[in-house]
Structure formats: C-alpha cells, structure tokens
Amino acid sequence: MARSAKEQLEYYYKNREHINDLRRLRHKEHPERKKAWDRTYHQIHRKEQNERQARWRLKLRKEAILRYGGKCFCCGEDKLEFLAVHHVNGHGREHRKQVGKATSSTFYRWLIKEKRPDISVLCHNCNSSIGFYGYCPHKERR
Ligand SMILES: [Zn+2]
Ligand SMILES: [Zn+2]
C-alpha cells in the first residue's frame, strides 16, 4: 500500500535516526552508492548556487545600468535586455584588466560604487556599430 507524502514525512521524522543509521550502514556496505548520493547532492547544490549567482549578477547589472542612466546614450533604447555598460573610449576589456576586476560581478559592484564619467550605457546595436565601424549610424544621419 502506498503511503501519502505526509505519512512518509511523519514516518521519516519519527524514525529519522534509525533511517539515517540504515543509510550510513548501507553506504558503508556500498561505497559506490554513497558516492552516487554525494554526486547527486553536489549537483543539486551546485545548480542552486549557479542560479542564485546568475540572479545576483542580473541584479547587479540592472543596478549598474540604472546608475548610468538606464537607457542607450546614443538611441535612447531603454529595454534592460538590450543594454550594457560600456567605456566611452571603447577600452572596456583592457580597463577591466587594469583595475583588476576579473569577474563581472565585481566589475559591476565597482561601477555602482564609483559612478565613472567615462562609462555610459549603450544598447547592443549601437555598441557593435561603434565597435565595427567606429561610429553609430544614429549619429551619422543627423
Ligand atoms: Zn542604442
Ligand atoms: Zn546608435
């Protein structure tokens, strides 16, 4: 007969020590099972950690973009997904190295704290045009 989840949980709490003893014993007898369990646990844990980190990075990115105006300084695009912070002189990566901020989250934290005059927000379109051609057609046409 199948037990309900609640019953299973109650059973687990009532017999927790016994169950843990059994598991320990089983793991001792079957070290490969313990290894498999550790791996599963590690994977679940790592996935959670990665997701938390990704959320945290997104939050920092958003904060940094808002701090520097929240829209493309060339075309006015204001959808966060299209935006990124850039060095006006286009040497972002070099500068990132210079200041020793290896990971993007530290870079964003630094940006949020500093409010650099040589940093502005650009959308990916304007930024890649400036990167490829040295100018953005939005500006050229005027
Ligand atoms: Zn733009
Ligand atoms: Zn543009």
Per-residue pLDDT of the chain (142 residues), as tens digits, is: 567 878 888 888 888 888 888 888 888 888 888 888 889 889 989 999 999 999 998 999 999 999 999 999 999 999 999 999 988 765 555 555 555 555 678 888 888 998 888 889 999 999 999 889 988 999 865 4
- What is the residue extent of each domain of the chain? 5-140
Ligand 1 centroid to residue 123 C-alpha, Å: 4
Q: Which ligand is nearest to the CA of 86?
A: 1
Q: Which ligand is nearest to the CA of 131?
A: 2
Ligand 2 centroid to residue 67 C-alpha, Å: 20
User: Position of tokens 């829209």?
Assistant: 71
Q: Which ligand is nearest to the CA of 124?
A: 1
Which pLDDT value is given to residue 63? 94
| Distance in angstroms (rounded) separating the CA atoms of residues 45 and 50 | 9
Residues within 5 Å of ion ligand 2 by Cβ? 74-75, 126, 136, 138
Q: Which ligand is nearest to the CA of 120?
A: 1
The pTM for the full model equals: 0.62
Tell me the angle at which helices 16-29 and 5-14 cross, rounded to the nearest 10 degrees: 80
Ligand 2 centroid to residue 43 C-alpha, Å: 43
